[in-house]
Structures are given as structure tokens and as C-alpha cells.
Amino acid sequence: MSATTAVHGADLARVGTARAVGVSRSTPADYIPVTETVKGRVGDTVVVRLGVTNLGPGVADGQAGSFAVVPPPGTTVTSIPWEGDDDDRRYACRPPQDKDNYFFLCDFSTSAGSSVTIGFHIRIDERIPGAKGSITVYGPNDPVPDNDRDTISVDATSAPLWRWQNPLWHWHHWPQAAATLAIVTLAGRWFVRRRRQDQA
């Protein structure tokens, strides 16, 4: 399967989300995404830190912008916990509104030369070779828009035998598994019979 990059409606997040407060018009700030690879076995839920780095020279003073995260195909964002807070809400970011605009929208504020990231809890549902998600930053007065997007890669390995996601437990694989088991059983019987004949 060829590589896929999920974008969906993330580009629509630009409208009305980045707030032009806290960054002086005379000191623009270049924002770039912070991304990590979703790495684990099928069935694992892993924590991936995603966010923004402010390359400066602007200095944020309050809420400076937002970033949109589109999960890679074959994965599910199960939660984005609020860190250092007693709030028990499931998401620190606004979850997708519908399947045509499937992105998580997160607000950020960061000073020049610093980064801010949020821990996304992402479950690997299936292994899709080449699958990629995306993270796009919408910062006010950003003079370098060409570096506002990056990909979220996936490094997934097969599920262990005891997990239902393992292909062995999928019903359409059972005939193949049964045939393989029958061949192994017959070969084992033949080997035992041959050993007995040789020892006789």
C-alpha cells in the first residue's frame, strides 16, 4: 500500500482560530510543529508529544495561536489529558467536530526560543504501511508559513499472539491456519513413524 498523509479538514482550522494577541506586529514569530513517531505494536496505546516551537524573535503574551492534529490512518486518539490540572476532562484540545473535519485543535502560548507540547494518547488499531498523519501550526504574524506543517509517522509492528488484533484470530485466516496446522501434524506423525522404523 502506498504512503498516505491524512489532512482532511485540518486546513479549515485556520479560519478564526489563530488569535493575534500577545505577539507584537513589529516582532513576528516563526512557529514550527513539534512531532514524534507513533511507535508500538498493534493494540498498544502510546503517548506521543505534539506541539509547537517558537523560533522567534516574537514573544508571546497570552494565547498566541493554535495547532491542528490529524491522527494517522489506523490509529485512534483515545485521550489528551490535561497536565498539572485536576480537571478530569478527556481532551485538552477540541476534538473533531465531524468525519469531514477530523482534526484535534489545540491552543498554545509560548515565548521566543521555547516549545510547548501536549501528550496525545494514541492507540494503534492496525498496521498500515506508509500511513502518516499531520500537525499544522497556525501562529499569528508568522513570516515563514512554509514550515508550519509536518507529518506524524507510524512505526507499528504486528500484535502479539494473545491479542485479538493478531491476524491469527481473524476468521478469514482460520482456514489457512487450520491447513497449516494439519500439514504440521501430518509431518510430525510421519517423522515419529520414521524414527520408530529406524529404531526397530
Q: How far is CA 154 from CA 43, 64, 134, in A?
A: 13, 29, 11
58 pLDDT higher than 90: no
Query: Would the pLDDT of 123 be above 80?
Result: yes
Determine the Cα–Cα distance for residues 161 and 104; give it in Å rounded to an integer.
Answer: 33
| pLDDT top residue among 132 and 184 | 132
- Taking all residues of the chain, what is their mean pLDDT, rounded to a whole number? 78
- Tell me how far CA of residue 130 lies from CA of 5, 147, 160, in angstroms: 8, 22, 21
pLDDT above 90: residue 28 = no
Helix (H) or strand (E) holding 8: none
Q: Which residue has the cell 494565547?
A: 63
Using a pLDDT cut of 90, give the percent of the chain over it.
42
Mean predicted confidence (pLDDT) in 180-185: 75
- Give the pLDDT confidence score for residue 176 in this predicted structure: 63
What are the angstrom distances between the C-alpha of 146 and each of 31, 54, 143?
10, 15, 9
| pLDDT at res. 23 | 45
| 142: Cβ contacts below 8 Å, ≥ 6 apart | 28, 29, 30, 31, 148
pTM of the predicted protein model: 0.70
Given this model, what pLDDT does residue 104 score? Answer: 96
pLDDT in tens, 130-173: 999 999 999 878 889 999 999 999 999 886 665 545 555 555 55
Mean per-residue pLDDT for 34-53?
Answer: 95
Angle at 33 between CA 27 and CA 36, to 5 degrees: 155
pLDDT the model gives residue 87: 59
